[in-house]
Amino acid sequence: MLRLLRIVLLPLVVGSVLLLAPAPAAAATVSNPADGAALAAAPRQVTLTFTREPVAEASQVSVLSGDGRPVSESAQPVRAGLSLTQPVGIARAGDFTIVYSVKFADGGHEQGTRRFRVLTDPAPGGTDAHAGHTAHDVDPVSATLLVVDGLVVLVVVFLLILRRPGADPVAWRLPSAERKSDDRTA
Amino acid sequence: MRQNSGVLARINGRYHRVMLRLFLIVVIAHWAEHLVQAYQIWVLNKPRPQARGVLGQFWPWLVTSEWLHYGYAIVMLVFLFLLLPGFSGRSKVWWGIALGLQFWHHIEHLLLLIQAQTGTFFFGGTVPTSVAQLVVPRVELHLFYNSVVFIPMVIAMYLHLRPTPAERANVTCDCAGQQTSFSQPVPRVTTA
């Protein structure tokens, strides 16, 4: 009988203890970019925010492009409060995966992935993630066209002021001696 | 001066001047988007994806969904098409050139819109890509498109506002300053 009780009760007791024991802190990790986000612009960094204090020195946060190449800029993320931030250098549009393995100050551990998509290619020649600032040269063709556009507008405005409505364009172009009233509309 | 009836005739007659002004507002708004975008890229040194013009700064989805610039493109195309009959002579030729170029510009934006909406990118691209974008970067390309549409359009407007007598005789509006009664036929011009 005692043997039977042990066989039946022991698993029940152990199961109950396990079920009723406080669960580890919820892994309610929030990422920025959010999981599944489709971004118009490539982010300069990704941030993971936890409900517990992470230990940056014992954690890894990597960002991988669609073909598996890392685009993260640093070997170790930077901690700020409950967040870990990893700078990234994304050179082209595509799908990206944040892969993380995080140790917490309370001894816990969490790992997982988050995905996001970048819809638009950053500027040709790379992103500003490396320098923190992108310098673009003014496109000479575009600049010239814009100047031409402005000149056309200026010339047209000037001509509109110079040639008031009702002026006879034909007579205006003729020598004064040849200007006749019959050039005008009937 | 020709006389017509119907909505199209009124647009190109009594309301041609008003419609041209409305069209100019659309054109200026569209230019503002592109000029601000150019400023954001070349002066503020923003990454191109973050240079979203005016409305795109407040509603980025307008840019990412391609609706903003497609909207401008289709509205401009409609205006250019509807207002064409109001022009005559040289101005009609220039307006027609602007219309033809805007038609192709609109096709390019339609391709971008379709790709953005379906998520299927053409030409092996990872982002919506138009035909001419295969050789010219997008921002520069659309500055070019807007210029080559804008310049003949402005020339057409000037020639429309300052027509020759023969051209004036063939318009149905008073944009050139004529004070015309639109209910009364006007004698056709005869030149000496």
Same domain for A38 and A111?
A: yes
Asked whether the beta carbons of A104 and A81 are under 8 A apart, the reply is no
Q: Specify the pLDDT at position B155.
A: 96
**Reported ipTM:** 0.75
Max CA-CA distance within chain B? 65
Q: Which of A81-85, A149-153, B55-59, B179-183 has the lowest mean pLDDT?
A: B179-183
* pLDDT averaged over every residue in chain A: 72
CA distances from B112 to A8, A38, B50 (A): 68, 17, 18
Looking at the domain assignment, is residue B188 inside a domain? no
- Segments forming the whole domain that contains residue B105: 7-164
Is any Cβ of chain A less than 8 angstroms from the Cβ of B55? no
Whole-number pLDDT of residue B79: 96
Does A150 fall in a domain? yes
Q: Are residues A114 and A29 in the same domain?
A: yes
Nearest-by-Cβ selection for A153 from B154, B162, B164: B154
CA–CA distance, A83 with B29 (Å, rounded to integer): 42
B77 has pLDDT over 50: yes
| Dist. CA B109–CA B102, nearest whole Å | 10
Q: Look at residue B189 and tell me if it is in a domain.
A: no
pLDDT(B47) > 90: no
Enumerate residues 6+ apart whose C-beta is below 8 A from B161.
Answer: A160, A165, B175, B176, B177
- Separation between Cα atoms, residue A66 and residue A153, nearest integer Å: 48
User: pLDDT tens across A15-30, in order?
Assistant: 554 444 444 444 457 8
Q: Is the peptide bond before A33 cis (omega within 30 degrees of 0)?
A: yes
**A164 shares its domain with A83:** no
Residue A87 lies in a domain: yes
Whether B180 maps to a domain, the answer reads: no
Q: Is residue B172 part of a domain?
A: no
Q: Has residue B185 been placed in a domain? A: no
Backbone torsions φ then ψ of A32, nearest 5 degrees = -135, 110
Does a structural domain hold residue A53? yes
User: Hey, what are B154's tokens?
Assistant: 């402005």
**Closest chain B residue to the Cα of A170, Cα to Cα:** B164
Q: Which residues of B touch A167 (CB under 8 A)?
A: 162
Is residue B124 in some structural domain? yes
Q: What percent of chain B has pLDDT over 70?
A: 88
User: Cα–Cα distance between A69 and A90 in angstroms, integer?
Assistant: 11
Question: What is the three-class DSSP state of B135?
Answer: coil
Shortest Cα distance from A163 to chain B (angstroms)?
8
Q: Is the pLDDT of residue B46 over 80?
A: no
Query: Containing domain of residue A64, as a range?
Result: 24-118
Phi/psi at A100 (nearest 5 deg)?
Answer: -135, 150
Cα separation of A136 and A104, whole Å? 42
Work out the average pLDDT over B78-91.
95
Supply the pLDDT for residue A142.
Answer: 78
- For residue A15, being part of any structural domain is answered with no
Kindly report the number of other CB atoms within 10 A of residue B103's CB atom: 14
Q: Are residues A149 and A92 in the same domain?
A: no
> Cα distance from A181 to chain B (closest Cα, Å)?
10
User: Which tokens in the block code for residue A83?
Assistant: 């967040």
Q: Is residue B184 part of a domain?
A: no
Q: Is the pLDDT of residue B149 over 80?
A: yes
CA distance A136 to chain B (A): 6
Strand (E) or helix (H) holding A143: helix A140-162
Q: Are residues A47 and A34 in contact, defined by beta-carbon separation less than 8 angstroms?
A: no
pLDDT-derived band of residue B107, with 50, 70 and 90 as boundaries? very high
Residue A109 sits in the same domain as residue A158: no
**For the packed helices A140-162 and B138-161, what is the interaxial angle rounded to 10 degrees?**
10
Shared domain check, A70 and A145: no
**Domain of A65: which CATH number?**
2.60.40.1220
B60 has a pLDDT exceeding 70: yes
Number of structural domains found in chain A: 2
